[in-house]
A and B are shown apart, each in its own frame.
Chain A
Amino acid sequence: QKEVEQDPGPLSVPEGAIVSLNCTYSNSAFQYFMWYRQYSRKGPELLMYTYSSGNKEDGRFTAQVDKSSKYISLFIRDSQPSDSATYLCAMSAGGTYKYIFGTGTRLKVLA
């Protein structure tokens, strides 16, 4: 079983839709969870950062962590064509600097 799993997509949605992006993981020691957006041939851009379980909201983005299910989600409300990108989850255990990345989900928001 991979440490971090992410559906590669592509996920196509119409403009204005609510998007749900997800990652599952196997290492119960993970405590720090990040979501990045990566446009083609660019560096990952930090969107959201959460610690342990719970929800965090920032504008149109909401991150959820369910440690009991080893499942994290990123929701994008009122999706825009400019949201079209690859979304990466990354996570880390306490006591380490190393983040483990998912393979990314490619999102296409259609105008």
Chain B
Amino acid sequence: EPEVTQTPSHQVTQMGQEVILRCVPISNHLYFYWYRQILGQKVEFLVSFYNNEISEKSEIFDDQFSVERPDGSNFTLKIRSTKLEDSAMYFCAAGGAKYEQYFGPGTRLTVT
């Protein structure tokens, strides 16, 4: 089964700081996604990325968020100025087809 990896596994940051979460999809994946899961709540879509651009984003994905694929392998999510409510598990997902999404193990972000 394809494996998506994410780093770090746990990130603690202070409110107002910038964080970058990293994902390494499988090499033949074309579609990339970020989701988040606040503790005890459902998985929520943030953004999808295809052909080096955002293909769709949710209302959660505001100007504080950005994504990029700088070197053709890593896929990153940046939060510019973290808020307490950004504390959650952030999952990267990727797939070779539009409706195929394999999730990584997640990064637990704690904002203090």
Residues of A within 8 A of B (CB): 32, 34, 36, 41-46, 49, 51, 88, 90, 92, 96-104
Contact = CB atoms under 8 A, between A and B. Distances in A.
18 contacts: A32-B99, A41-B108, A42-B105, A43-B91, A44-B91, A45-B103, A46-B101, A46-B102, A88-B42, A88-B43, A90-B43, A97-B55, A97-B98, A98-B45, A98-B48, A101-B43, A103-B42, A104-B42
A44 B103 CA distance: 6
B99 to A, nearest CB: 5
Contacts of B33: 97
A34 B103 CA distance: 13
A43 B43 CA distance: 10
B44 interface: yes
Interface size class of B (residues with CB under 8 A): 20 to 34
Interface of B: 4, 6, 31, 33, 41-45, 48, 50, 55-56, 58, 89, 91, 98-106, 108
Contacts of B41: 103
Contacts of B55: 97
A49 B45 contact: no
A46 B99 CA distance: 12
Given A90-B43, A104-B42, A99 B91 contact: no
Contact of B99 (A42, A49, A102): A49
Contacts of B101: 34, 46, 99
Nearest to A94: B99
A96 B101 CA distance: 13
Given A99-B45, A103-B42, A43 B99 contact: no
Contacts of B99: 32, 49, 51, 92
Given A42-B105, A43-B105, A101 B100 contact: no
